[in-house]
Structure 1
Amino acid sequence: NDQLKLNTLSSRVTLSEENYRYLLLTVYDAPQPLTLQSVEALAPADDFSNAYVYLPAHKESGTASEAVYSWANPQPLAGLAIAPGNESPVLPVEIEYRQRADDAWQPLTKTVLYRINDAQSEPTLLNGEQVQAIRVKGINANWGNTPPEVQGLRASQALVFIPQGTGPFMLAWGNKAAKPQAMALDMVIPEKLRGQYTLDSLPVATEADTVTLGGEARLTAVDPAERRSQWMTMLIWGVLVIGVLALLGVAYRLWREVKTKA
C-alpha cells in the first residue's frame, strides 16, 4: 500500500516481427493524466548457438597474409564466423567477398579477429546475401602457417509436415524443376490449437540414412515452362542474328555495285 516515485519502469518483454509488437500501459489511481514521454528498447545480444547452421568453408589458396575460402555453391549467409589461428591470436584483417565464382571481389569490412582464452571475436553479420567465396587479407600482419578458420552462418529453419500413414518418411529436396508445395503454418497448425501445439512441443523427426535420388542433374533441372521460355529466347536471338547478317550482306552487295560503277 506504499507509493513510490519512479522515473523508470523496466520490463522484460520480447517483441518481434512474428509476435505482438504493441504494449498497453494501464495506470491505477493516477492523480492526473499520465504523460508518457519516451520508451526505450534494448536489443538483446545475438545468440548464434541455435539460430544458425555453421557451414565450414574450403580453403582454396593462400599465403601467409592472404587466403581465399569458398563454398561449393553460393550460400545466402547471415554472417561469417572467422577465428584466427594459434600463431596470431589477434589479427586485423580486411574481408572481401564475391557472389559467384566469376564475379569481381567486393569489399565487405575491416575488422580485428581475436581468440584469447574464452573470448572470441563476434561473427561478421550479413543480410542473407549470396556468397560463393571470401578473401581474407591481413592488414600489416600475417598468420604464418595457421590461417584463419572460416565458417558461414545460415539461418536455421524448422520444417513442419503432417505425416500420413506409418513411418519412416522420405523428405526429397533439391529438385529445381519441382513446384513449391509449402503451406502456411495456419494450414498445418490451426490458430485455435496454437496454444496447445507449438513448434517446441511437436514431435521431432530424426534423420536416418541419406539417399541420393537424382544427383547434380536434379539441382540444375528446369520445368517445362522455363524450358519453353529458354527455347523462345534462343529462337528470338537466332532470328535477330540472321536478320543482322542479312542486312550486312545487302549492304556489302550495294557497296560492291557502287564501287563497280565508280
Structure 2
Amino acid sequence: MGKLSVAVVGLCTTLFVWAQEAPADFTTQVPLSVSGNGPWYRLELPLAVQLSARQADLSDVRVFNAAGEPQAYALSRQSSQRTESRNVVDVKWFPLYAADTRETVPGVVLKATAEGTLLEVRPAAASQAGKQVLRGWVLDASAIKAPLQQLSLDWSREQDGFQRFSIEASDDLQHWESWGDGQVARLSFADQRVEQHDVGLPGQSARYLRLVWQGQAAPVLTSAKLMSATSSLSTPLVWSQPLTGTRLKAGEYSWQLPTGLSVERLRVELKQPNTLAPVTLSGRRESNQAWQPLSNALLYRLSQNGQDVVQDEVQLPGQVVTELKLQVDERGGGLGVEAPALRFAVRATQLVFLARGEPPFTLALGNASAKAANLPLSTLIPDYSAERLNTLGLARVAGEVAVTSPAVTAAVDTGSNWKKFGLWAVLLLGVAALGAMAYSLLRKPPVAR
C-alpha cells in the first residue's frame, strides 16, 4: 500500500509539472532586456505586440525567465489610473487689440493684484488706443491650481466659420510659453448646425492663457471655461498603422480590427481637399451582433487662408470592439468609392514584473485558453505608490519577435491536452486502486492468535 501511495503522489506531481505553462504554449514570444534598479521592471507594451494577444483584456500575457519559469506580474492600465477629479470653471477674459491682423502679439500692459487676479489689459501706448482690431483674448486662470486639461469657448452668433488661434501660457504676464494651436468652429450644413467649442490643453498649470487669432480678427467671446484635474495619471494614447477597410454600400464603410480593443480615438484619412463629411460611427464585438452607435462627428479638410484646416479625428467612449462601421452623410460630397484608411488609438498598457531566476526574460502572448494570472500592483509591490512606479527598472523589447503558426500551436495544444487527459486517467485509476486496496484490507478478518 505504501508503494502505491508513493506512485500516486508521483503521478500527481508529474501531472502538475506537465500542465504548467511554458513559452511554447503561446503563439508569440518577445525577447526582453532589462536595465535600472530591480527586482521589479516595467515594460510599456508596444501596440504591435499587444495585437498578438488572443484575449482583449490581455489575460494571455506572460513573462518567463531563461529556465521557462513564469514571473509574477501586474498590468498597469488606464482603468486603474483615471483622473481623480475634474472641475470646470468660468473664467474672466480681457480683449487684446492691435494695429492690424498682421501683428503677431499685440503690445499691451497687463495689471494683476498681489494674489494674481487679472485687473486690466490695455494698449502699451496711448496712440494705439484708437486701433480697434480685436486680435485675441487673455484668460485669467489664476484661481485654478490644478493642471489645465481643456478650454471651451463660445462667441458671437454673427461670426460663424472656423476660428483658429495660438495658445500661450504664463505665470507672471511677462514670459509666455507656447501651448500650440487651437481651433473651434460653428458651421451650418444641410439644415443642421455643427459646433465645436472645445480645445485640448497639455495638462499643465498656468495662471494666464493668451489666445491670439492668426491672420484674422478675433470673434467677440461670450463664454470661456477651463477644465482642470487634481491629478492626471492617464497613460498616453498609442496609434496603430493604417487599416484597409471595405465599402459596404454608398456612404458606408467597415473595418475589421486585429482583435477586440478598447478604442478611444480614430483618425480617418481625408485625401481630397475641400472634403466635408458628417459621419456616424458604430461598432460591435461579434459579427453576428447588431451595430451599436458610438459617436457622431464632422470631418473636414478645407482650404482657409492658403492652408488646409483639418479635422479628421473621432472621439470614442473606449468600448471593446472588433469591427467598426462609418456612415457618411453624402450631401457633403462623401468620402469616395474606396474605403478611407483608418488609424485607431488605444491607451498604452504597462506591464510590471518581479524578476526571479536568470535572464534573459521573454514576453509571451497568444493563447485563447489561458486564464488571467496578473496580480494587483499593490500585491506585486507591497509598498506600491504611483510615484514609485516611475522609479522601477525598465524592460524593453530586444530582438526579433518569434511567432508560431496557429496551426502548429493547435497541434501542440491538442497533444498537450491528450497528455493531460491520460495523466488524469492514470491518476484516477491509481486512486481507485488505492481505495480498493484499503477496502480489501478493512474487510479482511483479523488473524487469530
TM-score by length of 2: 0.36
- 2:144 aligns with one of 3, 6, 10: 10
- 1:176 aligns with one of 359, 368, 386: 368
Aligned mates of 2:278, 2:400 — CA distance in 1: 43
- 2:395 aligns with one of 195, 201, 204: 204
RMSD over equivalenced CA pairs, Å: 4.2
Task: Classify the secondary structure of the residue corresponding to 2:378.
Answer: helix
Please tell me the residue identity of whatever aligns with 2:145: S
Alignment of 1:102-181 (within 5 A): 102-116=288-302, 117=308, 119-140=310-331, 141-144=333-336, 147-181=339-373
Aligned mates of 1:14, 1:199 — CA distance in 2: 22
Aligned mates of 2:271, 2:354 — CA distance in 1: 46
Q: Residues 49, 148 of structure 1: CA spacing in aligned structure 2 closer, same or farther, 3 A cutoff?
A: farther
TM superposition shift of 1:113: 0.7
TM superposition shift of 1:105: 2.9
Q: Residues 89, 41 of structure 1: CA spacing in aligned structure 2 closer, same or farther, 3 A cutoff?
A: closer
The answer as to whether partners of 2:265 and 2:313 remain within 8 angstroms in 1 is no
The answer as to whether partners of 2:281 and 2:295 remain within 8 angstroms in 1 is yes
TM superposition shift of 1:181: 1.9
The answer as to whether partners of 2:244 and 2:255 remain within 8 angstroms in 1 is yes
Aligned mates of 2:407, 2:325 — CA distance in 1: 24
The answer as to whether partners of 2:245 and 2:339 remain within 8 angstroms in 1 is no
Aligned mates of 1:49, 1:119 — CA distance in 2: 26
Comparing 113-122 with 76-85, greater Cα deviation is found at: 113-122
Comparing 155-164 with 145-154, greater Cα deviation is found at: 145-154
Alignment of 1:228-243 (within 5 A): none
Task: Classify the secondary structure of the residue corresponding to 1:148.
Answer: coil
TM superposition shift of 1:11: 0.7
The answer as to whether partners of 1:97 and 1:108 remain within 8 angstroms in 2 is yes
The answer as to whether partners of 1:64 and 1:147 remain within 8 angstroms in 2 is no
Aligned mates of 1:130, 1:146 — CA distance in 2: 23
- 1:96 aligns with one of 279, 282, 288: 282
Task: Classify the secondary structure of the residue corresponding to 1:101.
Answer: coil
Please tell me the residue identity of whatever aligns with 2:247: S
Aligned mates of 1:85, 1:147 — CA distance in 2: 11
Aligned mates of 1:6, 1:90 — CA distance in 2: 42
Aligned mates of 1:5, 1:91 — CA distance in 2: 44
TM superposition shift of 1:55: 5.7
Q: Residues 43, 216 of structure 1: CA spacing in aligned structure 2 closer, same or farther, 3 A cutoff?
A: farther
- 1:83 aligns with one of 255, 262, 269: 269
Q: Deviations over 1:5-52 (max 9, x none)?
A: 96963213589xxxxxxxxxxxxxxxxxxxxxxxx97147x9x99333
Match in the other structure for 2:27? none
Task: Classify the secondary structure of the residue corresponding to 1:42.
Answer: strand
Aligned mates of 1:217, 1:97 — CA distance in 2: 32
Higher relative CO (Cα under 8 Å, sequence separation at least 6) belongs to: 2
Q: Which is strand-richer, 1 or 2? A: 2
Match status 1:42 vs 2:234: no
Please tell me the residue identity of whatever aligns with 1:75: L
Match in the other structure for 1:242? none
- Structure with max Cα Rg: 2
Please tell me the residue identity of whatever aligns with 1:209: E
Q: Deviations over 1:145-191 (max 9, x none)?
A: 56433222222100111223443211112223223221221233332
Identity value in percent: 18
Q: Could you tell me which runs of 5 or more consecutive residues in structure 2 were left unpaired when the two chains were aligned.
A: 1-112, 119-141, 150-224, 303-307, 418-449
TM superposition shift of 1:192: 6.5
Please tell me the residue identity of whatever aligns with 2:318: N
Aligned mates of 1:56, 1:91 — CA distance in 2: 20
TM superposition shift of 1:143: 2.4
Q: Could you tell me which runs of 5 or more consecutive residues in structure 1 were left unpaired when the two chains were aligned.
A: 16-39, 225-262
The answer as to whether partners of 1:80 and 1:126 remain within 8 angstroms in 2 is no
Q: Residues 125, 64 of structure 1: CA spacing in aligned structure 2 closer, same or farther, 3 A cutoff?
A: same
